Amino acid sequence: MDGTALILLLTFLVSVTGLLVFIWSMSNGFFNTKQSASHIIFGKNEIGLVEDPASNQTNNELQEAAGETNASLTQKELSDRLIADKSSALPTFVCLLTAMCWLIIGSAAAIIASIKLHEPDWLVSQAWLTFGRMRSVHLNSVIYGWASMAGVGVSLWLIPRLLKTPLVGAKFVYWGALIWHVALMCGVTAIGMGYTDGMEWLEMPWQIDIFIVLGGALMGLPLFLTLVNRKVDHLYVSVWYIGAALIWFPILFFIANIPDLHFGVQGAAMNWWYGHNALGLWFTPIGLGAAYYFIPKVLGRPIYSYNLSLLGFWCLAFFYSQVGGHHLIGGPLPTWMVTLSIVQSMMMIIPVFAVAVNHHMTVGGNIKAVIHSPTLRFIVLGSMLYVAASVQGSFEALRSVNVITHFTHYTVAHAHLGMYGFFTLVMFGSIYFIMPRIVDWEWPHPWMISAHFWLVALGFAVYFIGLTTGGWLQGSAMVDASKPFMDSVLVTLPYLKSRSIGGGLMIMGHLIFMIHFILISLRYGTKKEPALLIPNVNIPFIKEAKVAATELKRG
């Protein structure tokens, strides 16, 4: 026993030392990189110029909030950007539209599952409507339908801009998306019918997973083809995040779904290696990659510290990838594995701090700009909730906290803080920025953006605060052996109801968003073309750039 522990401890120390050396060598070059690497996303004289296609720019309040400037784009820069945007427009649109459909499907399943927890005799006559299946339909719809597709769509749109290179291989996206969605529809239907592989996050039958892997690979391919053809010297930090995520996710998903390989308790370890890495190595890097682009871009201000952002990237990759075991604290697993995950969970505070400092210093207390930019409103709130979710997660991994929060709704609230408060809000903000560029049209109704924001923000506040409180009370009752178990159930009831109310508000927000999304896709309303692009640039100039872009593309 002692010998084993000693060996494991030594292995651990050696690994950590090795990895620190590795991180140092990886980041070595970056410290020589000038801060100018953070300027890649701008034109030569563009810094200071705001860009938010979602804001109502007729009165130009956003630019005023960011400060007056003489900055401008050259015609060449503008044409290049238009070409980049055009190359990704259709593939991105396909991903975003389908993502939105899954958001609505996932929301419907969510509210049914939520109500069922406090109305257990509601909709009980059909097997597919039972809580255990509705919950999984919800999870798989929002994870593999909404979040993954939104993430891929936003990534496809960002890459040509970040690499200043038109997207290569768009046709792979259409085939990939088709295969992915047919597979996902089969997968969700299978879960409803009771065919499941039985593990959380990995419910879809493995036969269907083969097609998910194929579809995902096809959608990821253009990003790598574009990378090879890039025209920029440095890779902006968002490319590191997005590129790595696209390498990691297929590996995770493939290993986790190999049939007949995993067994018993080892299967549980693998299950949470996958479950937490889906968040840490797939959604988080994409969400952060988007935030690292849109916050500086909207404000026209480079990221505060480029080196810090890259250091944060490698720390996140290393620490986050090993935290999965904290889902099994107190379980029948090797102690060293759980301890490793707890340690790395606490270490996560370092990369999270790096992101927090960087985003905070970039926004620089410019609340006015955040108010005037719909994109920023969502993304800044999302980034703040990323920090909150991560710090909360670190402390939840401590045994003393975990003994109460494990096995309760507290964890459910925490998971939603990450996947909804952080990731989904960042995706909402990104879509507000991207869609006007794709369809060359403004969002028809600014009030719908505000309604969407306030409904999901308030709804989620009700959801999170209620469920966190209820979960904590549930856990406290459960570890008090003098109370009957039923106390831990009854105490949660008011909070489960508040969750349904909060969730209902969020869904109203989603429906408004969906309607608005359809309206802009149909180019509803009157065309206000010039306002869309760059407020400081005059109209004939933009028209010339567009003509030039079209000609360049033909040539």
Partner 1 sequence: MAGHIDEKKLFTGALVIIAFATLALVVMPYVQLKHVQAPAELKPYTDQQAHGRKVYMSMGCVYCHSQQPRDAKYAPDDKRGWGRASTAADYAYDKVHLLGTMRTGPDLLNIGARQPSQDWHLGHLYQPRAYMPGSIMPAFPFMFVERKGPAKEGEAVLNLPPAYAKPGVTIVATRDALDLVEYLKALDRTYPIKKTIEQSLEKAK
**Smallest separation, CB 372 to partner 1 (Å):** 35
Q: Is 47 exposed, middle or buried (0-12, 13-18, 19+ CB in 10 A)?
A: middle
183-212 positions binding partner 1, by CB under 8 A:
194-200
**Smallest separation, CB 382 to partner 1 (Å):** 24
Q: Which is nearer to partner 1, 93 or 272 (CB)?
A: 272
Q: How far apart are the first and last CA of the chain?
A: 72
Q: Which is nearer to partner 1, 122 or 447 (CB)?
A: 122
- Residue from 15, 17, 59, 189 binding partner 1 (CB under 8 A): 15
288-307 positions binding partner 1, by CB under 8 A:
none
Q: Is residue 235 near partner 1 by the rule CB under 8 A? A: yes
**Smallest separation, CB 275 to partner 1 (Å):** 9
Q: Name the residue among 37, 198, 173, 196 with its Cα closest to residue 92.
A: 173
307-326 positions binding partner 1, by CB under 8 A:
314, 317-318, 321-322, 324-325
User: Which SS3 state, helix, strand or coil, does residue 124 take?
Assistant: coil
Q: Which is nearer to partner 1, 50 or 245 (CB)?
A: 245
Q: Is residue 247 near partner 1 by the rule CB under 8 A? A: yes
Q: Please tell me the count of residues contacting partner 1 according to CB under 8 A.
A: 94
Compute the distance between CA of residue 309 and CA of residue 312 in angstroms, rounded to an integer: 5
- Residue from 269, 288, 295, 419 binding partner 1 (CB under 8 A): 269
Q: Which is nearer to partner 1, 116 or 359 (CB)?
A: 116
DSSP state of 59: S
Q: Would you tell me the crossing angle of helices 306-320 and 335-347 to the nearest 10 degrees? A: 160
Q: Name the residue among 19, 14, 6 with its Cα closest to residue 320.
A: 19
456-485 positions binding partner 1, by CB under 8 A:
478-481, 485
Interior angle at CA 468, CA 467 and CA 470, nearest 5? 60
**Smallest separation, CB 100 to partner 1 (Å):** 26
Determine phi and psi for 94, rounding to 5 degrees. Answer: -60, -45
**Smallest separation, CB 477 to partner 1 (Å):** 11
**Smallest separation, CB 310 to partner 1 (Å):** 10
**Smallest separation, CB 546 to partner 1 (Å):** 28
Compute the distance between CA of residue 407 and CA of residue 51 in angstroms, rounded to an integer: 45
**Smallest separation, CB 274 to partner 1 (Å):** 9
**Smallest separation, CB 189 to partner 1 (Å):** 14
Q: Is residue 234 near partner 1 by the rule CB under 8 A? A: yes
Q: Is residue 17 near partner 1 by the rule CB under 8 A? A: no
Q: Determine the interface stretch with partner 1 among 151-159, 331-339, 513-521, 547-555 (rule: CB under 8 A).
A: 331-339
Compute the distance between CA of residue 62 and CA of residue 56 in angstroms, rounded to an integer: 9
Q: Write the binding mask 361 to 400 for partner 1: x where contact by CB under 8 A, - elsewhere.
A: --------------------------------------x-
502-541 positions binding partner 1, by CB under 8 A:
none
Provide the token pair at 545.
Answer: 């750039």
Q: Which is nearer to partner 1, 168 or 380 (CB)?
A: 168
**Smallest separation, CB 444 to partner 1 (Å):** 40
Q: Is residue 229 near partner 1 by the rule CB under 8 A? A: no
19-38 positions binding partner 1, by CB under 8 A:
19, 22, 26, 29
Compute the distance between CA of residue 146 and CA of residue 497 in angstroms, rounded to an integer: 25
Q: Which is nearer to partner 1, 60 or 130 (CB)?
A: 130
Q: Which is nearer to partner 1, 134 or 449 (CB)?
A: 134
- Residue type at 189 in one-letter notation: T
Q: Determine the interface stretch with partner 1 among 163-171, 330-338, 438-446, 527-535 (rule: CB under 8 A).
A: 330-338
Q: Which is nearer to partner 1, 202 or 370 (CB)?
A: 202
Q: Name the residue among 444, 432, 448 with its Cα closest to residue 375.
A: 432
Cβ pair 295, 363 in contact under 8 A: yes
Q: Write the binding mask 429 to 458 for partner 1: x where contact by CB under 8 A, - elsewhere.
A: ------------------------------
Compute the distance between CA of residue 520 and CA of residue 93 in angstroms, rounded to an integer: 12
Compute the distance between CA of residue 442 and CA of residue 445 in angstroms, rounded to an integer: 9
Compute the distance between CA of residue 270 and CA of residue 289 in angstroms, rounded to an integer: 27
Handedness of CA 24, 26, 29, 30 (dihedral sign): negative
Provide the token pair at 191.
Answer: 């879960």
Compute the distance between CA of residue 160 and CA of residue 171 in angstroms, rounded to an integer: 15
Q: In the block, which residue shows the tokens 């960011």? A: 66
Q: In the block, which residue shows the tokens 């801009």? A: 161
